[in-house]
Structure 1
Amino acid sequence: MAEDTANHNYQRPDRGAQDWHVPLNENFARIDTDVEIKDAAENMGEYEPKAGARFLATDTRRIFMGDGEQWQEFGSVAGSASAVALDEAEGTATRMSDGTFVAEPGQLQSVIDAAATGSEFGERPVQTVRMVSGEQYDIEDTIRLQRGVRLECNGARVVPTGDFNVFELDRDTQLVDPFVDTRDMDWSSVQVVLGPEDVNKLDTRNRAWVKNAYLHGDPGSGIGLQFRGGSAPCSIQVASGTLNGFDRALDFYATGNNTDGQGDWSNGNQFWGRMQDFRIGVSMRSEGAEVSGNSVRVQAQTGDVSEWLWKMDRDPRESRDDNNYVMNGNTVIVHPWDTAAYEATNEYYSDGDRGAPFWFMGRGKRYGNSLYDLSGIYGNQYLVNNSDTPDRNGIFTAHGSFVSGTTDFETDPAYQRNESRNWHYRSRNS
């Protein structure tokens, strides 16, 4: 008598046996369950989820098991990867079993383009691209994060080979742990731009977020991170990290003069982290549109070129009776370290002053702007206040009690009205 198969116990009918077709048909019925189904995940509904049946999604490498009623996810093919074709010069990129694209040096922009989903308004899943840890990426042009891409820099160091912006973020993008280095080169551009030219509005539903940036530039050269309003608003975006060096470490810039509801503003954005060795720590400037409602929380360490912790550029016009060049409702919460360094470079410092001012507010509509000093020792005399509406701006200490300026003075506690108008003595409003 013929034996059944060893692994699956399929029946082997004896030669000449009557009804030999019966066990064979039973074998076929079992084979239909036992043999793994391989197809794209989107086609899984075309197959019956027989109890014990196995489905391998060939595009995502995920495994599903049938329970007689539906397909239940079981796991994935560990370590499996597939090749993604790039252009002829760059060959192929690797796509891991979890769907992540791996971009080798020299492939970064092409892999980002291949992974882009075109997502906006959070309507589609985001695709992750990962750089190779421990590698240096020498890039020859700006890296543009396309819609629906999350770039994990993974410890890789990015160095531009020329003077151009390093990263520019379109809507619905995320830049995670970027390490950019432009030291010891003649470089004057922007390392990370949120809201580059020709991008639609960035807002809560269309994020361009930066997490844990690690940006290095020469003191006094270039810009670290920029919230740029231009072809559309850069609105309510979030960034964090370390900004080391630069002419302007953090830049809120309204690059156009469109002040309508979908204009060129830089507004409602947030940054938290630390900055050091900057000429200007927090920069706010405009070509006509509004810079408003932005908030910053930093530890700010000065350096040899440090001139201003916070500088709000002036409205360049003599007649200012409209709503252009407005800067209002901006807040900087800061612990200012080693402020004596401002004395060597700040034009408003004179020998005999207790210290140099570190917040400059240019003329124009500047109101509702606040600096909260977490060291608890600085007051309004460290603000050069040239605003057209001076009383609605000020420096607050954490405790609101005794503070020092060009001369010692005392203000009411923070929970009472601060009636002090002791701006820096060289202010237009002093």
Structure 2
Amino acid sequence: MLDHRLSSEYEELRRTVAEFANDVIAPKIGEYYEQNEFPYEIIREMGRMGLFGLPFPEEYGGMGGDYFALCLVLEELARVDSSVAITLEAAVSLGAMPIHLFGTEEQKREWLPKLTSGEVLGAFGLTEPEGGTDAGATRTTARYDEATDEWVINGSKCFITNSGTDITGLVTVTALTEPLTHSSDGSSNHSPTREISSIIVPTGTAGFQVSKKYSKVGWNASDTRELSFTDCRVPAANLLGRQGRGYAQFLRILDEGRIAIAALATGLAQGCVDQSVQYAGTRRAFGRPIGANQVIQFKLADMETRAHISRLAWRDAASRLLHAEPFKKEAAIAKLYASEAAVDNAREATQIHGGYGFMNEYPVARMWRDCKILEIGEGTSEVQRMLIARELGVTS
């Protein structure tokens, strides 16, 4: 018989993070959010809790957990605040995970202990100003300089999370590289074949410039910036994995990341339910709590239903991932449904709160501002529908 209940270890982790979110994040995050400040104090405490190392082996400073545990944590954090949740999600799924999955032993030893402790944040430079959803249309280039044994990077990236904080240590950048073939005499020959590779660029490298923070609608307590590279040189050893495998690498990273975003979206959707149930029980109109009105009850029932189904969807996808089963379709379904559920719940929560829902001092106002990006980042809703149709065998 199937059992959807959490194990005692997972439940203890979930409860611990829920308490942290309610006791530590909730009282402070509003001020960070309104002042567009990165919550370094909160991030340090999350590092001490081991949250940044959850799915990584202990030999690299991790907690020896798994991706399911990470998603549990993201849901609980996002029930209170999405800026903190997306900081953790990007740091783990986009910053550290590529090095864990594709890096050399030397790269893992150098970077993972810092990343898993939260001492350093990593970022993933994929999206470009003219690329957007078409991530394969990369224009950033990396030319190999044989004289110095270095990659010379030129180009730009946009909407990159965790790329400009005081504790950012690296950005893994996708770039066009020329295939190198070696002849029998040891000389190198260049092929014109187009390929994409991933390269680690440490913060502070000459020619690597980080722009000022974007002015965003939501996620105001997270860090998002544009990056530019002008003759930026890094050692050839900074190549992540095999040359020309960058496209395949980020496709895998995005597939896994969609489960994490689905969990985050589920947390936001559930947070809207939590806040609305509390408000409906205390807000009085026409002599009784507004929760006594059937129209409010039906709204809350629909909101809870959406959050519940979202949770089942991401847990199913995460379980398939952990059991090494195909999960691409299930991840796309989870991300699509949960992100749209978050948007629907945030809209209804704001409606239930009435005029107060439009005031930034109420968490639902922050949730309303944060929800829309969930239908865009890690692949738009349209892309998820394309992926699902493709997995069904429907092709154009």
Based on CA coordinates, which of the two structures has the bigger radius of gyration?
Answer: 1
TM value normalised by structure 1? 0.21
TM value normalised by structure 2? 0.22
The structure with the largest helix share of the pair is 2
State the structure with bigger RCO (CA 8 A, min sep 6), 1 or 2: 2
The structure with the largest strand share of the pair is 1
